[in-house]
Structure 1
Amino acid sequence: MDRAAIFEKITERNAVRKKAQLPLLDVRAEFEHDCSVAAMAEYSIFCGTKQVDLELITKEVLAEHPQGYSGFGRMYLNRLVQSRFEDFVRTQYGVVRPAEKPRNTVRYGKGF
């Protein structure tokens, strides 16, 4: 991930916005979000190279839960496979899934 290139793109976008007399972007929020997106893309590319491991983990999970499942049951199994795969990648390769940082957080209620 090239953090300098990300920052440069944000400043270019702000220059265009300023010229168009639009409100400027929050550089810190945009930078954190764009870095988060780039880190997740790198993680997804890495995990894409480990499809054999993912298939083995999927077979293990399905062997542990052989009965048929409804839609929500399949969602549970998919989440279980994903969780085990992330644990495997972390322990085997030392690669940790990056935390997601949403651009716009909506807060409800008082005191936020």
Structure 2
Amino acid sequence: MKIQHCLILICLGCTGVSANAASFDCHKAKTVTEHAVCDHRDLNDADVKMATTYNIIKRLVPMGTRGAIQDQQVKWLKMRDQCQDNASCLTDVYKMRQQKLDLYMNRVYQQGPF
């Protein structure tokens, strides 16, 4: 688990994403949901963590799995957007997605060595 956290921190540093910025440009936020993510620090942090984990996993899994994960991400984004500006709902859907992505990450670790 420590390796996962190190990878995320390294990727955050490499991508230039600051710790207090969502995975998207908050100045260009269009939806009520995007504005809510930008307005709440906890949601903002959850968004950065989820997006970073998602991008790492996309590079580490085989093509078939990658396609499935991308399809799941699209479905998840639609579910997230149904929360609108409900912070509790958004917190729950981010936790759910992060847990799913963590399962994929754990499978990658099990197939090591790294």
- TM-score normalised per structure 1: 0.32
Higher helix share: 2
Larger Rg computed on CA atoms: 1
- TM-score normalised per structure 2: 0.32
